[in-house]
Chain A
Amino acid sequence: MPISVPVTVVASTAPESSGPPSVVREFLRARGSGKLADAVFSSVMLVCALSIFAIVLFIASILILRSHLSLVQFGWKFFSRQAWDPVQGDFGALPFIFGTLATSFLALLMAVPLALGVAIFLTELCPKALRAPISFLTEILAAIPSVVYGLWAVFVLVPLMRDSIGPVLYKYLGWTGFFEGSNFGVGLLTASIILAIMVLPIISSLTRDIMTAVPNSQREAVLALGATRWEMIRTGVLRNSRIGIVGAVMLGLGRALGETMAVTMVIGNHPDISKSLFAPGYTLASVIANEFTEATGDLYISALIEIGLALFLVTIVVNAIARLLVWAVTRNAPARVA
């Protein structure tokens, strides 16, 4: 390819070159040669790009279509009823909504302060030499498959909760009512802890990006007024990036709401609504994972698909809001790989 040689030369000697396409380019493009091929090429690319819309529309429509039976049978009440009786054909999603919200909320409660701490450490305090390895480690944490987290949780976290952490919590905080009843190790609390570990890297890496986008002059200005480092972080950095941080937390929430395998393996899988965090629970995602292949009867499958539809719509909304918030803050920051 003879072109590739001048390419690199041009790239390294023309620093002002990235900008809108020039008149020359428009002229050359309009010059007939390869016009048909260009048109075909660009429309093929457009079709592929439109397939992203198609995927979303297809998922939404197929889920609505297949959950029709349950939508008609139960209506809006489906989401406020507590019944889950496949034998009688009586279904309601409330226990799963409770389980999903409870585990996600607890996971965020644990993950957000830690993620903020990591992001502050990485952007403001960390020695340069440590920055890359720690970021890399947290990225690895994000790359571990859910099922492996689940495996680890089943064999390490569950016994730990049952034998060490659980009894201590019961002894000192049992009076609150949150740590009561028989403690099998599996339950809402264990699921929340594993969820927290899983959403942490997402929140912390996004928060780090957002905090890096705060201009340095901002920091210098606050420091020049005689602030301590923490005051600089609080007033100069955190205050400027709070919208983006909320967005990052919401992205973490979206991930927590839909997380399936690890939660299914440790939550106990029982449609109960209980105040105690030791009690087994069930989430929207884990009921689908557990019961879908064994579901008999159209109404049963339809009810499970309706749960999937609810999960789809909720995560779409949460992610859309989160993306808008993150974009608002990092819009002008340089691009980086995933």
Chain B
Amino acid sequence: MKMYGVYRASMNYLVTGLAVLSTIVVIAPLVAILVYLVYKGASSLNLAFFTHIPRPVGEDGGGMANSILGSGVVLALASSLGVPVGIAAGVYLAEFGRGRMLANAIRFTADVLNGVPSIVMGIAIYSLVVMQQKHFSAFAGGLALAIMMVPTITRTTEEMLATVPFAVREAALGLGVPKWRTVISVSLRTASPGIITGCMLAFARVAGETAPLLFTALGNEFWSFKLNEPIAALPLQIYKYATSPYDEWHRLAWAGSLVLIVLIMVSVTLVRIFANRGALKGNS
């Protein structure tokens, strides 16, 4: 009996130790990646990186200014398409469809769509837009990313609206405000910090997407401003440079990754602070 007690106690310590160890093992690669990224990337960041377009192989210098601009264009396009649709769908689920079978089906579909690989979105948009138009375009890239943003935004919008108490809506309705006004000025307004969080998370997620852009935006070595032409994007350029055999390009890939990570981490962190401060707390 005593032996069994020793076994139980040591098992307890063993598992506790393993849990701590696995946490360390998980945190380690993250720290390794971030440290290595800063170490390799920071030394390659300079003014030229942000102001110049890439030089041909063999020439020193050059930067990724056109990729940064291109990423901005594609992401702006994706957000302007994806955010309104995503929020509207979330509003339907929370305000109009609560408890209905249709809403449950839509919610489930959104969750499943969230897990569809991004490369599938890429070839779908390729098949629809690029094959029709016979050329790659910034517009196609934006569309592919927009489709990826919709389900994420829909689900967070719905969850945030669900935390707005009914009494708040009834207060507005009681004053004779029509339903649509109530949704816009009361429900959406009250839940806005959470909804903005959802949009930023969706944005951060697609900002680093490469696969769907491979066959839609394609990439471009020069400045590109037109929406129906191939356009450069930061993740695409990182991929191209990382898989190239040239040291100069590797250097640019590290710098580009650092810029991308900083952008994503800043937006995620800002969002966390923002959401924790602004959200409606208490009863929900």
Contact = CB atoms under 8 A, between A and B. Distances in A.
Given A17-B283, A59-B124, A337-B275, A4 B189 contact: yes
B45 interface: no
A52 B110 contact: yes
A24 B175 CA distance: 11
Contacts, number: 354
B16 interface: yes
A70 interface: no
A152 interface: yes
B283 A18 contact: yes
Given A288-B119, A338-B152, A29 B179 contact: yes
A335 B94 CA distance: 13
Contact of A143 (B97, B179, B204, B235): B204
Interface in B181-201: 181, 183, 185-186, 189-190, 194, 197-198, 201
Interface in A191-237: 197, 200-201, 204, 228-231, 233
A289 B23 contact: no
A286 to B, nearest CB: 9
Given A48-B88, A52-B89, A204-B26, A260 B215 contact: no
Nearest to A148: B257
A28 B174 contact: yes
B207 interface: yes
A25 interface: yes
B165 A319 contact: no
Determine which residue in A8, A113, A140, A200 has the highest number of CB atoms from chain B within 10 A of its CB, and name it.
A140
B56 interface: no
B265 interface: yes
A11 B280 contact: yes
Contact of B260 (A136, A145, A255, A318): A145
B117 A259 contact: yes
Contacts of B215: 292-293
Contacts of A53: 105-106, 109
Interface stretch (B31-39, B61-69, B72-80): B31-39
A334 to B, nearest CB: 8
Contact of A118 (B22, B123, B169, B257): B22
Interface stretch (B47-55, B155-163, B220-228): B155-163
A126 B93 CA distance: 37
Interface in A132-166: 134, 136-141, 143-152, 154-156
A66 interface: yes
Contacts of A42: 92, 96, 179-180
Interface stretch (A85-93, A171-179, A274-282, A309-317): A309-317
Task: Categorize the interface residue count of chain A.
Answer: 35 or more
A75 interface: no
A138 B204 CA distance: 15
A308 B261 contact: no
23 contacts: A3-B186, A7-B171, A17-B168, A24-B174, A35-B178, A37-B178, A37-B180, A49-B103, A51-B85, A53-B106, A59-B116, A63-B123, A125-B19, A147-B239, A150-B239, A259-B117, A260-B118, A285-B117, A292-B214, A305-B123, A311-B119, A311-B120, A312-B116
Given A20-B166, A22-B166, A144-B33, 11 more contacts: A19-B166, A59-B124, A134-B23, A145-B210, A148-B37, A152-B36, A156-B32, A231-B12, A260-B119, A315-B116, A316-B112
Closest 8 CB pairs of A and B: A145-B208, A258-B117, A117-B22, A34-B178, A48-B88, A17-B167, A41-B180, A319-B115
